[in-house]
């Protein structure tokens, strides 16, 4: 039986994994586009079992039962054109997370994570385009060994901008489902732009799209996500 474990560095909330990173880690077992549904907060520094359920479907299990379910999927997404890198930098300065952040040590968007540790993708609004955007300056510590970032890092980059695209007035939401498709891995010396945009809501569920573009405006990866407003909004450090 195959296993996986998420190192503490890759947290979202302080005590569980960043959902996009976790989903990307699952996808490395099959090398295909997967729809990953997160059932319970993925624990950190914990050995989890990867169970094959047939036809490419996987189930991630821990001591408390099923943590996530994944199945092959096709990403269908209308992706808007990206803003310029300069526009993304300006938008990033308006990121809501600088004023209030439920998980300030999140690996992807946590403002308390220093350079060389967190990804520091701070997506801020571009209201006239109904999107959020941020620059992503890739750090050498994310090198997968060939000068490019690992697939799970690409998936992580597509997580939090979706939250900021859907969140209103700093409301708490957690990633419930994400489908990621990676066109190509980016190099650690590239400066990329990440965007997110809302795609609708139904009660406590919010759907968003996210995408990563390189410095030439080429699409490198995209994702479709479902965010859930929990009934119990209390958070823990």
Residue 1 — very low, low, confident or very high, per pLDDT cuts 50/70/90? Answer: confident
User: Residue 226, Cβ neighbours under 10 Å: how many?
Assistant: 21
Residue 55 — very low, low, confident or very high, per pLDDT cuts 50/70/90? Answer: confident
Cα 90 to Cα 94, 133, 162, 200, 226: the distances in Å are 7, 9, 18, 26, 27
User: Selecting from 3.40.309.10, 3.40.50.410, 3.30.70.580, 3.10.129.10, what CATH number does the domain 2-72 have?
Assistant: 3.10.129.10
Residue 170 — very low, low, confident or very high, per pLDDT cuts 50/70/90? Answer: low
48 sits in which H/E element: strand 48-54
pLDDT at 230 (0 to 100): 86
Residue 169 — very low, low, confident or very high, per pLDDT cuts 50/70/90? Answer: low
In angstroms, the CA 47 to CA 43 distance is 9
163 sits in which H/E element: helix 160-166
Answer for the pair 62, 48: CB distance below 8 angstroms, yes or no. yes
pLDDT at 237 (0 to 100): 32
Rounded to an integer, the average pLDDT of 143-165 is 96
Structure tokens at 30: 């099959």
Residue-range domain boundaries for the chain: 2-72, 85-228
Answer for the pair 220, 186: CB distance below 8 angstroms, yes or no. yes
Residue 168 — very low, low, confident or very high, per pLDDT cuts 50/70/90? Answer: low
Do 2-72 and 85-228 agree at the fold level? Answer: yes
pTM reported for the whole predicted model: 0.94
At CA 34, angle to CA 31 and CA 37, rounded to 5? 140
179 sits in which H/E element: strand 174-182
User: Selecting from 3.40.640.10, 3.10.129.10, 3.40.50.2300, 3.30.830.10, what CATH number does the domain 85-228 have?
Assistant: 3.10.129.10
């Amino acid at each position: 039986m195959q296993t996986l474990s998420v190192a503490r560095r890759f947290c979202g909330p302080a005590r569980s994994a960043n959902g996009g990173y976790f989903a990307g880690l699952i996808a490395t077992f099959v090398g295909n586009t997967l729809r990953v549904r997160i059932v319970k907060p993925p624990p950190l520094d914990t050995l989890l079992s990867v169970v094959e359920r047939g036809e490419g479907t996987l189930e991630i299990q821990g001591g408390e039962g099923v943590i996530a379910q994944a199945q092959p999927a096709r990403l269908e997404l209308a992706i808007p054109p990206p803003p310029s890198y300069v526009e993304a930098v300006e938008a990033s300065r308006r990121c809501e997370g600088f004023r209030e952040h439920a998980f300030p040590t999140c690996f992807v968007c946590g403002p308390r994570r220093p350079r060389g540790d967190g990804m520091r993708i701070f997506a801020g609004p571009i209201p006239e385009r109904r999107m959020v955007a941020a620059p992503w300056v890739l750090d050498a510590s994310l090198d997968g060994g060939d000068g490019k970032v690992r697939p799970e890092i690409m998936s992580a980059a597509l997580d939090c901008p979706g939250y900021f695209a859907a969140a209103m007035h700093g409301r708490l939401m957690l990633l419930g489902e994400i489908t990621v498709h990676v066109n190509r891995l980016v190099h650690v010396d590239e400066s990329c732009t990440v965007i997110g945009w809302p795609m609708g809501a139904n009660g406590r569920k919010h759907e968003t799209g996210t995408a990563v573009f390189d410095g030439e405006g080429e699409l490198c990866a995209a994702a479709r996500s479902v965010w859930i407003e929990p009934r119990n909004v209390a958070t823990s450090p």
